[in-house]
Amino acid sequence: MEVFGIDIGGTGIKGAPVDMETGTLRAERLRIPTPPGAKPRPIAEVVAEILKQFDWHGPVGVGFPAVVRDGMVRSAANIHKKWVGTQIETLLSEATGCPVCVINDADAAGLAEMAFGAGKGRQGVVLVATIGTGIGTALFTNGCLLPHTEFGHVEIKGVDAEKRASDMARKLEKLSWKKWAQRLDEYLHTMEQLIWPDLIILGGGVIKNHEKFLPLLTVEAEVVAAVLLNDAGIVGAALAAHQRAG
């Protein structure tokens, strides 16, 4: 069975049909730049355009960078404030003519990694952290997702962790990999004190350079790089829609 997955990001919106048996993309993904301002209606129009390019009329899963509960956007840390209170599943369904399931983007990436990637078959407590513009998190216990965790906003030294340890912070402050790894390590130690994970999977755009910082981390938990990389959000969003359909 195929389900279409879409990953909405701050700079780009990308999507492709996904094989639910293997977790692989069935076609080359299409990426369209995120409209300036990233307001609801323009985002919906881009999603509709992506599906139109594939002539898609079936179920759609969407990963979105916010807390989404019962189809409604409940937070806006790195998106336009107009999203808060928006019934995003209704908006996207009306724009595309397709049944749409929306899930937090980090939860989507986590689902993908647990089903098809670095977390496949792993039991215990697993923390998936996507390191990019911010820090997204997904928490699993024996393979079951605890949705809506926002551990990127844990306060460290008086500020949100993601303002110190995200890849965006590394770039803005022009930190060396060693200096930035110390901040990431500090964040992961904080996570250990709170939830004691058995495994930490690090994903997001920065993971393509994992050899520059993973060896510098000192946390007790096993820390590994995500496997699905840039496809994780697409695959996980499709998986969420597939699971909802039963």
Domain coordinates of the chain in residue numbers? 2-104+231-244, 118-226
Name the percent of the chain lying above pLDDT 90.
91
As assigned by CATH, the class of the 2-104+231-244 domain is alpha beta
- Residue 246: pLDDT above 90? no
Confidence (pTM): 0.93
The topology under which CATH files domain 118-226 is Nucleotidyltransferase; domain 5 (3.30.420)
The mean pLDDT value for 39-45 works out to 96
- Residue 10: pLDDT above 90? no
Q: How far apart are CA 62 and CA 8, in angstroms?
A: 7
Q: How far apart are CA 229 and CA 77, in angstroms?
A: 23
With bands split at pLDDT 50, 70 and 90, how would you rate the model's confidence at 11? confident
**Mean pLDDT, rounded, of the chain:** 95
With bands split at pLDDT 50, 70 and 90, how would you rate the model's confidence at 79? confident
DSSP state letter for 65 = S
- Decide if 2-104+231-244 and 118-226 have a common fold: yes
Comparing C-alpha atoms, which of 9, 2, 8, 51 is closest to residue 23? 2
- For residue 171, give Cα distances in angstroms to 122, 126, 155, 160, 180: 33, 28, 20, 17, 10
3-state secondary structure of 79: coil
With bands split at pLDDT 50, 70 and 90, how would you rate the model's confidence at 76? confident
